[in-house]
Amino acid sequence: MAFLLPALEGLGSGLLGSAIGGSLGSGIAGNAQNAAMNALNTQDETFQLGMYASEIQNQEQLQVQSEAFDQMMDERSENMREVDTLRNVDMAQRKMDALRTIATRRVLLSVAGRARAGAGRAPG
Annotated domain spans of the chain? 4-120
The 10s digit of each residue's pLDDT in 55-89 is: 999 999 999 999 999 999 999 999 999 999 999 99
The confidence score (pLDDT) of residue 22 equals: 52
pTM above 0.85, yes or no: no
The answer to whether 6 and 47 have CB atoms below 8 angstroms apart is no
How confident is the model over 32-59, as a mean pLDDT?
Answer: 94
Q: DSSP readout, 40-72?
A: HHHHHHHHHHHHHHHHHHHHHHHHHHHHHHHHH
End-to-end CA distance of the chain: 116
pLDDT surpasses 90 at 112: no
